[in-house]
Amino acid sequence: MKRLMSRLLAAALLLPLLAVPAQPATASTPFRNPLNPGADPTMTYFNGAYHLATTLGDRIGIWSSPTLAGLATVPERTVWRDPDPSRNKQVWAPSIHRFVRPEGPRWYIYYTASDGVDANHRNYVIESEGDDPRGPYHFKARIADDGEYAIDGEPFVHNGTMYFAWSGPGRGMGGPQQLYLRRMTSPWTTTGNRVALPADGGCHEVREGPTGLRGPGRLFLVYSTCDTGKPDYQLWMKSIADGADPLVLSNWRQHPGPVLARNDAAGVFGPGHNGFFRSPDDTQDWIVYHGKTTSVYTYEGRTTRAQPVTWNSDGTPNFGRPLALSATQAPPSGDPWASQEPGATRSYVSAEQRHHFDRAPDGMLTHWWWDPVDRTVRRDVWGGPIAGRPVGYPVGAEQHVFARTPDGRLRHWWWAPGGSVRQEDWGPGLAGDPTGMVTANGQKHVFGRAPDGRLAHWWAEPDGSVHRDTWTGGDVVGNPVAYAFGDEQHVFARGSDNSLRHWFWFPGIANNLPGLDDWGAVGRVHSDPTGFAFGDQQHVFYRTADGSVEHRFFDHGDWALRTDNWGGAVVGSPFAIRQGQTQQVFARGTDGALWRLVWRPGGSVTADRATAGATTDPVALAWRDETHVLARGADGTLVDWHWQPAGGAAPTSWGGQVAP
């Protein structure tokens, strides 16, 4: 933790928003493997969502989620089922790629299929109708067909030219499976003679699943060896320098030994058949692969896992060792906003569903959710009565919601798949709306203003035990906002002098006591703060006395606190989210309109408005590549404003009644 000292405040300057740094901290939802129960995974990130495909046998399906953690619970979307019986069985190993064509960008899925006889496997490709990896698709071609068994084909680009790599029998001269290469003339055609690429592998029977990874000055071709049913199925690697011809065998370098292999201590066996994808902010490489939890020879139990790729000083990739399923990982850099940014809110995404919690006019805790499967809104009541506004966050497939009771107690509701809503009392001492976050160690944290103006803190351990302390100082008014920043906890609130107060805690802090510093802005903070962590920066927004939105942010890179004003004419408390690299603030306008203030990398802050305004303070969420803002409409119902990229929003009533 790099503590912000008050002496920095004298250096705070009115400057434009800094560019987002290239190495973000981990402030998004932690995840654990597996991501999917399937094998032979391929993954890409596009338009605000991860898109994953695995072997399904009779079809090609894609799972899409705005967060990596969400892939574990989202439904499959079937994108291709071939009616041709000569190629609609034993459908294996899809691989997703995007190429720009004269008619526009198109997605191509390369896969292996047969008529039910293994020896008749060939490589095929389907093409999307538009620029969406979720389809729809149409059949395009059989590709690189030499009249014999061929599987695991996919393209790579080197020196600006496309090549197709696949696995077939013979090692070019008889014997077990071998890798082959051929130049491509389009995403669905190849030309010239095939070239057999010799490849080491620690065993004799298989060389398959060749996948390209671009490194500094070189292309790395990572492939699987041994029988995938064996615990020793593993990844090996060859590489070629930029400028060298891949069809000249002597240009390839064989790297010794496996680059990803079984990890008995972690209970991971047979890691292989991988893909690569870039993090949402395009700063990290990640590997997706399948593995098993048994050393028994079997094709069953292979599940999809992901972990980051680092780069050695010599420019080679380092895949590390396959992680245990119990290992908690930070998500890819720039993983889109989920529930922990800016922390607990009334709206969040869970299992691809959009959820909102609010107080009804009769004081009951009411829950709305939108299901993408049937595209309908449902509503139920979780209990009550409550006072103020509730907040919540998902924890894996569970949903947790907190609210203040009329007598000032903190109440906790939670739901898990297959069960009913449960609740418990976390005790007295709450005078305002709660906020909170889930930390990487599985603790659930809740903060709120106590009756004496101090900051009250509750937390639950993974074993369910609830604890409480008070974070002293602050003289808080209104409602705080909290978020995680790596393994740190940060809370911001408005002081009685209308200043911005900041509490922080990190492992190893002196005496295990939270720190408190002053972010200044005395007399300027006239609303509850909102904010998030992004990259190596911490961002906080609030309404000033003149109704404009002010922004303070601390950059850990140069250790400076800065301030700028985003404009606007708003009332109430704003709400800020990060969506990819875009930062957005939403608030009610003094004229009844709903304002959106947006900053994108390389640009300045822009503003637009929706003419139909909210009658309560809005909250926003990112769902796939969409932005949704929810608040009470003029008729008292819950309204979802789907904000358009070019500006303006399309409102849809979710029904029910929300307390003013």
Instruction: Write out the two tokens for 116.
Output: 């039910």
Q: Is the dihedral of CA 472, 474, 477, 481 positive or negative?
A: negative
- Name the pairing type of β-strands 570-579 and 252-260: unpaired
Q: Please check whether residue 35 is in contact with residue 68, taking contact to mean a CB–CB distance below 8 angstroms.
A: yes
- Sheet with 218-225, edge to edge strand ranges: 207-215, 218-225, 234-241, 252-260
> Which of 40, 154, 232, 341 is an active site residue?
40
The two tokens of residue 351 are 């299992």
For residue 510, with 0-12 CB atoms within 10 Å meaning exposed, 13-18 middle and 19 or more buried, which class applies? exposed
Rg (CA), the chain: 27
Find how far residue 616's CA is from the centre of its chain.
29
Residue tagged active-site, from 152, 154, 208, 433: 208
How far does CA 632 lie from the centroid of its chain? 28
Give 557's strand partners. none
Query: Nearest 5°: CA angle at 630, between 628 and 635?
Result: 135
Q: Is 281 a catalytic residue?
A: no
Question: Read out DSSP for 515-573?
Answer: EEEE---TTT--S--EEEEETTEEEEEEE-TTSPEEEEEEETTTTEEEEEEEE--EEEE
Catalytic (active site) residue 40: yes
Q: Which residues of 292-310 are buried (b: 16+ CB within 10 A; e: fewer)?
A: bbeeeeeeeebbbbbbbbe
Strands ordered across the beta sheet of 104-114: 89-101, 104-114, 122-128, 137-142
Active site residues: 40, 208
